[in-house]
Structure 1
Amino acid sequence: MLNMLNTPSRPRFDLLRIPFLGNFLRWKHSRTAVQIPLFILAALMVVDGLLGSPLAAKNTATVAAWVHYRGFVVLALLLVGNLFCAACPFMLPRTLAKWLGRPTARWPRALRNKWLAVGALIAIVYCYELFDLWASPWWTAWLIVAYFAAAFVIEALFTRSSFCMYVCPLGTFNFLYSTVSPTKISARSLDVCRTCVGHDCINGNAAQQGCQLELYVPTLRSNLDCTLCLDCVKACPHDNVALAVRPPAQELFDRTWPRRLDLALLAVLATFLALVNAFAMTPPAYVLE
């Protein structure tokens, strides 16, 4: 695999080289440290959604989910990268799920694509528009509960991060738009990767798990499928993984995506759903509803 790589080149600018920021990101528990506050926020949203004010504008569940979350995610993707997946609260209980389930089964080969995620994304947007989820704290709270339950069950039944890779509609949305983000995981030196024996970035080691989405750093050409969890950074014994800064939207011109129908539909769908959502929020359309 490595003999197909291009000539080694160092990233122009590596965020992991910035003092304090780099130290924090390389810290073993850095992801957990940012997941815990979001997990607590999600729990508060569920409690407020089920027991708090039925008015959407006065309820944490609807305001945080349908106003602040969407704005934060889009800005983060455009300005930094896939920050929500990096701090995803739905993955915080993963260790417990793996311990309880002790999974040995891999995700079914026939489902190793984006079709389930695309279907889930369509279902959420359809329910959002049809049932005015943005105006219902109660249903928003149950949607959050269902999301946690689905992630927990799938992580308990299958090895690796099958939920993130093949099921999660929010993550799939983030994957798509992270392809225009100005950051990307890359190898600092491909020569080091060529001589590496353990490939800890993907296989892991006794101290740190490798990439649970089975993305191999020296062959990583796109942000598609990368959750920015930084497991590869922490697992690499050679400190050879960079969080590189690159020109925004570079992937749109480099043609790094594999030619697959599910990815093509995902790109078209994301554009279409954005237009539908914007149209549904205009006064004439909303009055018709």
Structure 2
Amino acid sequence: MNLSTLTNGTSDRLYPKLQNPQSDHEVPAFVSDESVWRALCADADAAVTVCDRDGKIHFANELSNRFFRWQQTVRQGRDPGAANTARNTVKDAASTSAIDERLRLFTRVCDTGRGVAYESLVQGIRQFVTVRPVQGSNGQTFALIIARRMHAWERAELLADETLDVVELETHDPGILATLSPRELDVLILLGGGMTHAEIAERLDLSVRTIERHRDRLGQKLRAGNRVDLARFAIRAGLAELPDAAQGFYLDEHPRDPLDLPAPLRKMARRRVRVSDTVTEPDRRRRKPSDEA
């Protein structure tokens, strides 16, 4: 793969990125159509990363670089003396306990030549990730990793094609969602779907006053001033959705219970998911027994 070398930490960009079409910067050797590659990296609203079986980064587009820069900020917040230099491996760039499990998948894809797909929680935001094998000019196999946000109704097992094995991860980064009780998570999802307190109370077989108490606790934990802010939080995290006409047409044909949670959220609600060390200490605080009401 003929890619530029890693830059130093003084640059806005930590890892190689495609330049404008007039540049002589070459795209990866496995790319047969440069315009398609540029569209994927710049237009598809997805984070694109290429690494080898050992996790060394050979390419990252702007969205991936933003994530890596954020990870450096997190690292420096924990260790003010940490050097602000570029990291040339996935583990260095995204140093959380969750990355080890992902790295094993990247190695598996490079070794077996078969791709994988999984849903991941990153700071409480649902992401759909595909990892596909691609061949370099020297015959070496690399992992092409593409990550994007998920809509509330999407599930990894329905999005993956026949070339991908769907994997359920054990370690996630639920962020502030880790502070919520299962019932609070239900209320947040239904608020995000536009339901009133009375409708939520009927759906959950609880009193309106109980729903209001859950809403108040959600506001405190998520630092949301009102139910509109809570709905925005749920939509941003991929927990709820206000579908457009085309999406609504799809959902009419494929109805889904909004409380039928995808695997990562279901495990988190049952406290059966390993939490990444990215979660900040305030978000790790213990829940009171009353939170589970």
TM-score, reference length from structure 1: 0.26
Higher relative contact order (CA 8 A, sep 6+): 1
TM-score, reference length from structure 2: 0.26
Higher share in strand: 2
